[in-house]
A and B are shown apart, each in its own frame.
Chain A
């Protein structure tokens, strides 16, 4: 069992050993925590939240080119 992580741009899936804090997961994947949200089911997980083996999460980028 591991943490299953769905990533965007490009869409892909990776597995990471748990338990792991969101901040550490992002570090392992080379992602800036200010540029993404981590979502488990339909709930946000804060940077100090812990992900356990068996969890499935989405790491969603928040940066966009502009608005309107």
Chain B
């Protein structure tokens, strides 16, 4: 026999949320998601009422869910989609982002990584970082640039509770105090940098996916082919095994960190920031002369130039014979994802 919604007690429940001891019908669940997001925005001073913002949209469930919720909560939210050059996966992701923007009548800014930076994510693979690490670094850099250049003071990302828990778990496993000090749902605005906010940190991945199903949002279900086997995904599987036995484990681990541990890391954060200076090339804060992103961009462009040279030589030596796969053929990554954001 179907269980009725714990809130309205009228309609049958469609989803159970054990860590809140709730079973909810579709309308009450949508309200629950919006309430959780508004509560997060208020608690971490993410947005002023009605403040304009730019949402980083990947075509996946989280970024489309946060965009949808912000629009429903009355925030004038535009989207930005980065074309990463990951073959059919990027094409399908872009279609979802465009489809959502058209349906909601929202503005979507599209930026192509290869055009802006001179390399795609598959081309950056092997340039001293794993694909996921190169992707994260490039996205952080470029998304901020697009936000600032287009006059947005706030950049919204779709990081959910599971994302934050996996990052926290990785940082704790290595007791990386500077990274722990930097992990927070709001990173304040400073010169040249938009405020970065994560309004979904109180919602699990299961909740954001359920939100999209109920709202009829068409999102990309397939995993990025370059993320297969990454450490971040392994942490999520491990943590979900714990969550199934001990509902609320993820929620209390992350919220407990924010409430009880993060405030004690202020000194570490200050020490970390004191060692920063602007990158001589792009002005991003770094402890080196040239920041990690500019070094990655150099290595990726050099790698691409060397590959092209090898292809030219091979074609000259054996005309008509293909010189090997081009850069648009992604292969699964075996490396790890950088555990910080």
Contacts and interface: CB of A to CB of B under 8 A. Distances in A.
Interface of A: 8-9, 32-37, 39, 42-49, 60-68
A34 B244 contact: yes
A44 B15 contact: yes
A32 B56 CA distance: 29
B63 A67 contact: yes
Nearest to B131: A65
B44 to A, nearest CB: 17
Given A44-B14, A68-B139, 20 more contacts: A34-B240, A34-B243, A46-B15, A61-B223, A62-B61, A62-B205, A62-B206, A63-B205, A63-B223, A63-B233, A63-B236, A64-B61, A65-B230, A65-B337, A66-B163, A67-B56, A67-B158, A68-B56, A68-B63, A68-B143
A60 B209 contact: yes
Interface of B: 2-3, 13-16, 23, 26, 56-58, 60-63, 132, 136, 139, 143, 157-160, 162-163, 204-206, 208-210, 213-214, 216, 221-224, 227, 230, 232-233, 236-237, 240-241, 243-244, 337
B158 A35 contact: no
Contacts of B243: 34
A64 B60 contact: yes
Contact of A44 (B159, B213, B224, B244): B213
A45 B224 CA distance: 27
Contacts of A43: 14, 26
B3 A46 contact: yes
A5 B279 CA distance: 53
Contact of B3 (A48, A62, A64): A48
Rank and list the top 8 A-B pairs by shortest CB-CB distance, nearest first. Answer: A65-B227, A68-B56, A67-B158, A62-B209, A67-B62, A68-B157, A34-B240, A44-B14
A67 B213 contact: no
12 contacts: A32-B241, A35-B240, A42-B213, A46-B15, A61-B223, A63-B233, A63-B240, A64-B60, A64-B227, A65-B232, A67-B157, A68-B158
A61 B237 CA distance: 11
Contact of B58 (A37, A62, A67): A67
A66 B61 contact: no
Contacts of B139: 68
Contacts of B3: 46, 48
Contacts of A61: 221, 223
A8 B220 CA distance: 12
